Amino acid sequence: MMEKEKLDFDRGALIQTAIDNLDHSYAPYSGFYVSAAVLMDSGRIYTGVNVENASYPAGICAERNAIFHAISCGEKRIVAIAIVGGANGEIRDYCPPCGICRQVMREFCDPSRMLVLMAKSVTDYKEAILDELLPDSFGPDMVPGTLAH
């Protein structure tokens, strides 16, 4: 396992932001509510919740919702993300991001530094850098002929 660099930000505040937003989740089909709060390098925090749809593929995860919100506001680099969730909106376990969300995170961060907090509460959480959750990832720096390369 890689040694995590200690990033200086208030983890409890980021987690609490995600917790406070959980009741905005729209999950009438699965009953699994998720909320995310993403900290960008500007210091601003953006939130998102999962939003389901009767046409299942049309829904969106909380993590991507928060990240796309940040990007649409002009942000470009993720520092950290806090994720909470659970059946019927009750947080009972850690809520890791799905593979698609991990790949979207990869687009907007340094995967060796970006921190993912999976929380049960502000004091009970797991943290990992994105490289641990998405090893050997494919990113924008690998696409020749683009501005990111």
Residue 1 lies in a domain: no
Q: Is 62 exposed, middle or buried (0-12, 13-18, 19+ CB in 10 A)?
A: buried
pLDDT in tens, the chain (149 residues): 444 556 789 999 999 999 999 999 999 999 999 999 999 999 999 999 999 999 999 999 999 999 999 999 999 999 999 999 999 999 999 999 999 999 999 999 999 999 999 999 999 999 999 999 999 999 988 888 776 64
pLDDT, tens digit, 9 for 90 and up, residues 31-58: 999 999 999 999 999 999 999 999 999 9
pLDDT in tens, 63-75: 999 999 999 999 9
Domain assignment present for residue 149? The answer is: no
HSE of 14, CA atoms in CB hemisphere, 13 A = 29
Would you say residue 56 lies in a domain? Answer: yes
Q: Is residue 5 part of a domain?
A: no
For the whole model, what pTM was predicted?
0.92
Beta-bridge mates of residue 40: 78
Rounded to the nearest integer, the mean pLDDT of the chain is 94
Q: How far is CA 82 from CA 54, 63, 69, 79, 148, in A?
A: 27, 9, 15, 11, 26
The strand pairing partners of 37, in sequence order, are: 47, 82
| CA angle at 144 for the pair 42 and 109, rounded to the nearest 5° | 20
The answer to whether residues 66 and 82 touch, using CB atoms and an 8 Å cutoff, is no
Q: What is the Cα–Cα distance from 6 to 2, expressed in whole angstroms?
A: 12
- Could you confirm whether 75 is annotated as catalytic? no
- Residue 148 has what pLDDT? 61
Distance CA 13, CA 33 (A): 20
Per the structure, how many domains does the chain have?
A: 1
CATH number at residue 75: 3.40.140.10
Answer whether residue 34 is part of any domain. yes
Amino acid 56: pLDDT: 94
Domain membership of residue 82 (yes or no) is yes
Does residue 33 belong to any structural domain of this protein?
A: yes
Q: Tell me the residue range of the domain where 128 lies.
A: 11-142
Residue 148 in any domain: the answer is no
Given 3, 63, 75, 107, which residue is catalytic?
63
